[in-house]
Amino acid sequence: MKIIMLGAPGAGKGTQAKKIAEVCKIPHISTGDIFRANIKNGTELGAKAKTYMDKGLLVPDELVCDLVVDRIQQDDCKNGFILDGFPRTIPQAEALKAALTAIEEKMEYAIDIDVPDENIINRMAGRRACVGCGATYHVEFNPTKVEGVCDVCGDKLILRDDDKPETVKRRLDVYHEQTQPLIDFYKKEGILVTVDGTQSMDKVFEDILKVLGV
Ligand code: ADP
Ligand code: ADP
Ligand code: ZN
């Protein structure tokens, strides 16, 4: 199964993608996670990406496309994969399509998790990320067992710098301008499905499984 997660920042792409990846036994490929790992490891790519991420802007297409195209051709992607946070622009979607067409493959589902802007600011302010393993929580909607401590690895939780309200507003503008057009792109490709992302996490997941027929 080859799946793309679409949706505004904070719509729940990462939360759902992890669960889908587990059930479908396919790798979860998050470009945001890849950039954050590069920043943590002090790579050149990380340093370049950080200047854009801190401002709430997209990292330029040329830094993203090759990375993803290489990743999806690795062995563990043979039975499919789930893309979370990519593509985010029409040129990225075109690059993905071209890379797959070249090996006679195509994406099968683009799942748009629909959440209005009003809900997003709250979601982001309450999002907490583990510095150790990258697991994501929410102070109200998905709290850890012990406050501030990751359930998975025991490391500490932080509020991402780019989840502060000023940056979230910018990221929403960027989303509407550069990423939302992908909804039409995948509608035309005939693979778009929309789920109501304002529901509980479990209900959203249930709706997605129905769409995927698993
Ligand atoms: P969110 O959880 O809000 O959807 P991500 O973790 O996916 O955010 O991405 C964080 C930041 O990383 C983005 O704001 C952007 O700067 C950068 N980024 C991630 N994926 C891409 C991409 N496909 N193209 C450009 N920039 C990206
Ligand atoms: P994205 O990857 O789209 O940026 P996340 O999956 O990281 O979004 O979710 C953003 C925040 O909202 C996280 O703190 C997450 O725990 C929380 N969240 C995700 N889905 C829901 C939901 N259906 N209802 C309430 N909160 C949610
Ligand atoms: Zn952790």
Cα–ligand 2 centroid distance for 128 (angstroms): 10
Residue 135 covered by a domain = no
Cβ(193)–Cβ(210) under 8 Å?
Answer: no
d(CA 141, CA 201): 9
Q: Please give the C-alpha separations between residue 66 and each of 31, 62, 190, in angstroms, as whole numbers.
A: 12, 7, 25
Domain tally for the chain?
1
Residue 139 covered by a domain = no
Question: What does the pLDDT read at residue 38?
Answer: 96
Residue 55 covered by a domain = yes
Residue 159 covered by a domain = no
What is the chain's pLDDT, residue by residue, as a tens digit (214 residues)?
Answer: 999 999 999 999 999 999 999 999 999 999 999 999 999 999 999 999 999 999 999 999 999 999 999 999 999 999 999 999 999 999 999 999 999 999 999 999 999 999 999 999 889 999 999 999 999 999 999 999 999 999 999 999 999 989 999 899 999 999 999 999 999 999 999 999 999 999 999 999 999 999 999 8
Residue 165 covered by a domain = no
Q: Please give the C-alpha separations between residue 1 and each of 13, 176, 180, 212, in angstroms, as whole numbers.
A: 17, 28, 23, 9
Residue 152 covered by a domain = no
Cβ(112)–Cβ(13) under 8 Å?
Answer: no
Q: Which residue has the tokens 């587990």?
A: 22
Cα–ligand 1 centroid distance for 29 (angstroms): 12
Question: What does the pLDDT read at residue 144?
Answer: 97
Whether 134 lines ligand 2, by a CB cut-off of 6 Å, is no
Question: What does the pLDDT read at residue 122?
Answer: 87
CATH number at residue 64: 3.40.50.300
Residue 98 covered by a domain = yes
| Catalytic residue list | 13, 88, 127, 160, 171
Cα–ligand 3 centroid distance for 82 (angstroms): 21
Question: What does the pLDDT read at residue 99?
Answer: 96
Ligand 2 atom at minimum distance from 138 CA: 14
Cα–ligand 3 centroid distance for 131 (angstroms): 7
| Smallest CA separation from ligand 1 atom 4, residue | 9
Q: Is the pTM of this model over 0.75?
A: yes
Provide the residue range defining the domain that includes 29. 2-116+173-212
- Which residues, chain by chain, have CB under 5 Å from ion ligand 3? 130, 132-133, 135, 150, 152-153, 155
Question: What does the pLDDT read at residue 70?
Answer: 95
Q: Which of 13, 15, 16, 58 is the best mutation target for the ligand 1 pocket, counting ligand atoms within 8 Å of the beta carbon and taking the most? A: 58
Ligand 1 atom at minimum distance from 86 CA: 23
Ligand 1 atom at minimum distance from 68 CA: 23
Ligand 2 atom at minimum distance from 201 CA: 23
The radius of gyration of the chain's CA atoms, rounded to the nearest angstrom, is: 16
Residue 128 covered by a domain = no
CB-side exposure of 107: number of CA atoms within 13 Å? Answer: 28
